[in-house]
Structure 1
Amino acid sequence: MRAHQDARSGAAAAMPFFLVALLACASGLSVANVYYAQPLLDTLAADFAISHAAVGGVITATQVGCGLALLLLVPLGDRMDRRRLMLMQLAALVVALVGVGLASSSMTLLMGMLAVGLLGTAMTQGLIAYAATAAAPSERGRVVGVAQGGVVIGLLLARVQAGVIADLAGWRGVYFFSAVVMLVLGVMLWRVLPAQLPPSRRLSYGQLILSMFTLLRHERVLQIRGLIALLMFAAFSVFWSALVLPLRAPPYAFSYTLIGAFGLVGVVGALAAARAGHWADRGLGQRTSGMALLLLLASWLPLWFGTHSLWWLVIGIVALDLGGQAIHVTNQSMIFRTQPQAHSRLVAGYMLFYSVGSGLGAMASTAAYAAFGWTGVCLLGAGVSGLALALWALTLRYMPKAGVPPSAHMGAPHDALEGAH
């Protein structure tokens, strides 16, 4: 079916279950493209003669693409029909995936990864903004949490799928297979996804982009939760970017399939995402944040023991994903309450912090491993997680009280968001 609805009216009624499920699945499949390279860093380093200290640049190139998407593409959802925009981006993503699979040099590989990061991120965040706008205010946290749960599962399946296909058909097969999957997804979205017309059509493209920076400058909730996200995603990237290196080396010498399977133990992160969104709807976002940040910090102790015992590694991954995803969904739920007419720009501004944190974490992680081994990686991750917890505690008094809409007493002026000079 193809139901057409305006974004403003779409938020008035509860979202149908099948649409929530579709958005979650599409979010997971889209974001997976950004993370396929993580368990493949070792073989990419070998094929393109890149050192272990520098191979994190493959992930960094993808994160640069993520940042460009957030600056240039995601805000368009507040000006265009999000359904049409996402279908155009999906078609370009298929081309980018084929380009990565055909890469013949490190430069073409990096360019292809940048394009995959650009378009995969634009798709994923466009779907999250779509879910936030279509959901009724009373269920927005839950709906965004379910969509974010799809992202978590996509991340986990990305690592497993990349490992399995790389063992069977080489790393290039990972990207060719994904291109086919995205084509199928495009047909489903075209046939099922309702149109969603934004409230800010009168903004020019330049005004739209500038208004996102107005939000970043004035919206205190976005600033605070964005900085917490930057540190949290840096901690995530520190772990996942370095994990393949000790597990591929002796005494483990695991296959890519087995390394990717370690991501499956983080499936509880998807459960945390949905539950954290529900708690945020009930006004418990700050309490949830504090507990999740403590869990994130504590996770590094079992992760440090992980190279001596795989059971400790599993416990650490569960704690890391549980805490991180709860923080992420709580952040988004709080931010989406500030300016309902600007969901695409809000998610773009928020995820800019994510892109910076993930890119810095990837570079620092592989460098720390090359210099200090796994102990250096864990100390780096624990330090970043501790900074996130300290930032949350120091900024509590600057955040709105539970149940009080943030825009009631802080935030960007409405006229500024609508293109006033």
Structure 2
Amino acid sequence: MLAKYRALPESIRQYLLVTGNYWAFTLTDGALRMLVVLHFYDLGYTPLAIAMLFLFYEIFGVMTNLVGGWLGARLGLNRTMNIGLGLQIVALSMLLLPSAMLTVPWVMAAQALSGIAKDLNKMSAKSAIKTLVPKDAEDKLYRWVAMLTGSKNALKGAGFFLGGLLLTLVGFTGAVAIMAALLFIVWLCSVLNLKADLGRAKSKPKFTEIFSKSSRVNILSAARLFLFAARDVWFVIALPVFLASQLGWDHSSVGSFLALWVIGYGVVQSAAPLLTRGRSEKTPDGATATRWAGLLTLVTAILTAVMFTGWIEPQLALLTGLMLFGAVFAINSSLHSYLIVSYAGDDGVSLDIGFYYMANAMGRLVGTLLSGWVYQVAGLGACLAVSTLFLLLTYLTSFKLPRVNSTL
């Protein structure tokens, strides 16, 4: 096996290393989120209080993507990726204290480190793909980005399952300790094997260059912000709490269901190149993104109407709607992930990608806070209504994305 790995081209070996790092990190990130939501719900925290635990996670994600893109261009993506892995180990270690000592400020601080770690890792992984694919090989770029993004989300789903299972089997502290130990091994392998100076810009970018000067990157970033706010406003806090409190599901059931959903979501993302092009060999453009955003808006609006009117039994409506939402959302996310890597400049690629994922993190922040507050005040149906509004904004913004052979 090792001999076959060494026989692969250098670009493929580096791609596999980047992907492996991203997978390992994502597994712990998904598990940690599920652990925190379910553990602190058991301790009696309200949905809004649980959402506040993730406040710094999302805020620092916004800041990290802005600064991280600049750091990646100056220091190299190998270093930013390894820093991200190391910070996640520190964040997990902070949660090894007994439950009585896990105060809200302490958990928020640990989540802040985890947010920095997650976005350094994601930005590094997505930017690295641009440097490893030959220029003008857009079809290959689309397939590699879709595979990385889809496999990452499948692992995130596995992380949800792992978090719920470990919480049931070994408790919160035991689960965190196991994940920290495994991630430490991954970090060591990454430090020893990931190529130095991957993605480092030829000219040292100034700090003022953290904001993108490309209008198409800015437009796509705005669409991404609304897209992820639309997902997280009902998925992050409202949905797992609804399943546990209103439908009576236990921890394992909640974790397993959300895990299967995210795994399926990842599989669809990986298949996006086939699903969006059909028999055509053309790579997607702004028109493709607009069509799929419109379809997702329609699906969510129908689900919202069903939940408010009670036409269908709530559990059946929710589970069916969630499957449809997940599939169409996965296509939208994969299209955006390809377009930003395609739009990003060749030198210092992480600058544009970091700015884009700053908008992504801002969308998650808005969605997470609204998920706790809107659910606590008005319930899951209201969360879905807000989601529909955000998706309508995604759809309208996407009209400004460039079409084939056009430039902005």
TM-score range, shorter chain: 0.7 to 0.9
Query: What is aligned with 2:67?
Result: 72
TM-score by length of 2: 0.84
Which consecutive residues of structure 1, in runs of 5 or more, have no partner in the other structure? 3-12, 411-421
Give CA-to-partner distance per residue, 1:53-93, whole Å, 9 cap, x none: 33211122211121222122343121223223322332232
Count of aligned pairs between the two proteins = 383
Match of 2:229 among 234, 253, 257: 234
Query: What is aligned with 1:417?
Result: none
TM-score by length of 1: 0.82
Whole-Å Cα distance in 1 between the matches of residues 69 and 96 of structure 2?
Answer: 25
Query: What is aligned with 1:322?
Result: 327
Query: What is aligned with 1:26?
Result: 21
Query: What is aligned with 1:9?
Result: none
Query: What is aligned with 1:381?
Result: 387
Whole-Å Cα distance in 1 between the matches of residues 287 and 324 of structure 2?
Answer: 17
Q: Kindly tell me: are residues 56 and 50 of structure 1, through their superposed partners in 2, closer, same or farther at Cα, counting changes over 3 Å?
A: same
Query: What is aligned with 1:131?
Result: 129
Give CA-to-partner distance per residue, 1:101-121, whole Å, 9 cap, x none: 325211101101111111122
Between 358-367 and 132-141, report the one with greater CA deviation: 132-141
Query: What is aligned with 2:298?
Result: 298
Query: What is aligned with 2:265?
Result: 269
Q: Kindly tell me: are residues 342 and 19 of structure 1, through their superposed partners in 2, closer, same or farther at Cα, counting changes over 3 Å?
A: closer
Moved over 6 A (4+): none
Matches within 5 A, 1:313-352: 313-338=318-343, 339-352=345-358
Q: Kindly tell me: are residues 341 and 295 of structure 1, through their superposed partners in 2, closer, same or farther at Cα, counting changes over 3 Å?
A: same
Between 327-336 and 341-350, report the one with greater CA deviation: 327-336
Following superposition, the deviation at residue 274 of structure 1 comes to 2.9
Whole-Å Cα distance in 2 between the matches of residues 39 and 259 of structure 1?
Answer: 11
Query: What is aligned with 1:413?
Result: none
Whole-Å Cα distance in 1 between the matches of residues 16 and 352 of structure 2?
Answer: 23
Following superposition, the deviation at residue 331 of structure 1 comes to 2.0
CA contact (8 A) 2:84 2:116 kept: no
Query: What is aligned with 1:85?
Result: 80
Matches within 5 A, 1:159-308: 159-203=160-204, 207=206, 209-213=207-211, 215=212, 218-241=213-236, 242-250=238-246, 252-263=247-258, 264-277=260-273, 282-300=282-300, 301-302=302-303, 305=307, 308=313
Between 115-124 and 132-141, report the one with greater CA deviation: 132-141
Following superposition, the deviation at residue 94 of structure 1 comes to 0.8
Whole-Å Cα distance in 1 between the matches of residues 178 and 296 of structure 2?
Answer: 34
Following superposition, the deviation at residue 341 of structure 1 comes to 1.2
Which consecutive residues of structure 2, in runs of 5 or more, have no partner in the other structure? 4-8
CA contact (8 A) 1:299 1:320 kept: yes
What is the letter of the counterpart of residue 118 of structure 2? G
CA contact (8 A) 2:131 2:198 kept: no
Following superposition, the deviation at residue 309 of structure 1 comes to 4.7
Whether 1:43 aligns to 2:49 is no
Query: What is aligned with 2:143?
Result: 142
What is the letter of the counterpart of residue 324 of structure 1? F
Following superposition, the deviation at residue 332 of structure 1 comes to 3.0
Q: Kindly tell me: are residues 298 and 25 of structure 1, through their superposed partners in 2, closer, same or farther at Cα, counting changes over 3 Å?
A: farther
Q: Secondary structure at the match of 2:102?
A: coil
Whole-Å Cα distance in 2 between the matches of residues 65 and 282 of structure 1?
Answer: 37
Following superposition, the deviation at residue 253 of structure 1 comes to 1.8
Whole-Å Cα distance in 2 between the matches of residues 383 and 291 of structure 1?
Answer: 17
Following superposition, the deviation at residue 169 of structure 1 comes to 2.2
Whole-Å Cα distance in 1 between the matches of residues 323 and 35 of structure 2?
Answer: 18
What is the letter of the counterpart of residue 245 of structure 2? A
What is the letter of the counterpart of residue 101 of structure 1? L
Query: What is aligned with 2:6?
Result: none
Identity of aligned residues (%): 15
CA contact (8 A) 1:24 1:146 kept: no
Following superposition, the deviation at residue 333 of structure 1 comes to 2.3
CA RMSD of aligned residues (A): 2.8
